[in-house]
Amino acid sequence: MSGSALALFVLMVAVGLAGCASNHSLPSATHSSTTSVPTPGVQPVSVMGPVLGPSFELSDCRNRGGSFSVPRSNLDGILPEGFEAVASTDPTAPPDSVVVYAIAVSCAAFRVNGTEGKAVELAYAEVAVTPSTKESVPGITDCTMPLFFVATDEALGAALHAHGLGLAGTGTLGTTAIETSPGARTDSYTLGDGSLQFIFGETTPDTLGVTGGDFMLYGVQGGHVVSRLQGTSEGGTAHYASAMVQSTGVPGLTGFRDAALGFGASGFSLHFRPLAPAP
């Protein structure tokens, strides 16, 4: 997924998110609640060669998130040879910053290799990239490289892990209402020592146009491309929504904390299919 970060995934929203979609919106609560699931595969994928993992689909999804900026130096030693992180155009960002999408997603159903699953929560953070000539796919310019990708369902988490999508696998979600601000809440996604926390404000009534289309996600481990996923997003409407994100223990994002006028989208589906390794 891309900034529109699966690049987990991002829906391509009018605010300029790159592609690889994700969605997430939970009912507001008046107390803190945590959904825990087994967390297999919290160790980074060790395979250094290409893999051809499962296809998967996400349907009837909602998301919240945004486009953020991090110093380019954070990605030293992480990007594969020939890949370039997309420069941030945010005038308030520090010099030489790059675009990172952080998105939380909630889907009513999913499939992994055709096997159906029920409701699932996901979150990811991904860097918008220009891939090397070797790894690029003709006609697709919306590309991202996930740094963190977590799902609360074990089957879907295993699929994310199999593709080597950064620190990826099955994790936990905790959500807490912010009682002083109606409709606001904090969502925390954790996988091993890595965590991504979202603080969501209220959405605006303004509706944004959402354009479906194709995007690419690149699974990278140890500076090497281990998988290529072609994604397609379909349907959806979106609104502006404030969002703050912070992370700990995520390579490239350790200590990251940023706020942005992000978005919330609903009513979309995402399809991911693995491509063969680049020749």
**DSSP secondary structure string, 5-23?**
-------EETTT--S----
Tokens of 199: 């603080």
Residue 180 has a pLDDT of 57
Residue 192 in any domain: the answer is yes
Contact 22, 231 (CB under 8 A): no
- Cα–Cα dist 9/109, whole Å: 16
Pairing label, strands 143-151, 167-170: parallel
Residue 35 has a pLDDT of 31
Residue 157 in any domain: the answer is yes
- Cα–Cα dist 262/243, whole Å: 6
**DSSP secondary structure string, 41-77?**
T-SPP---S------EEEEEEEEEEEEEEEEGGGGTT
Residue 79 in any domain: the answer is yes
Question: How many domains is the chain built from?
Answer: 1
- Cα–Cα dist 4/233, whole Å: 10
Residue 205 has a pLDDT of 58
Residue 4 in any domain: the answer is no
Helix, coil or strand: residue 96: coil
pLDDT averaged per 10 residues in sequence order, the chain, 279 residues: 38 32 25 31 42 89 88 93 94 90 94 94 96 95 96 96 95 76 77 89 62 90 95 85 85 80 85 91
Residue 7 in any domain: the answer is no
Residue 127 in any domain: the answer is yes
Helix, coil or strand: residue 222: coil
Could you give the dihedral angle defined by the CA atoms of residues 257, 202, 1 and 124, in that order, rounded to the nearest 10 degrees?
50
CATH of the domain at 260: 2.40.400
- Cα–Cα dist 113/99, whole Å: 31
Residue 5 in any domain: the answer is no
Residue 2 in any domain: the answer is no
Task: Give residue 185's domain range.
Answer: 12-275
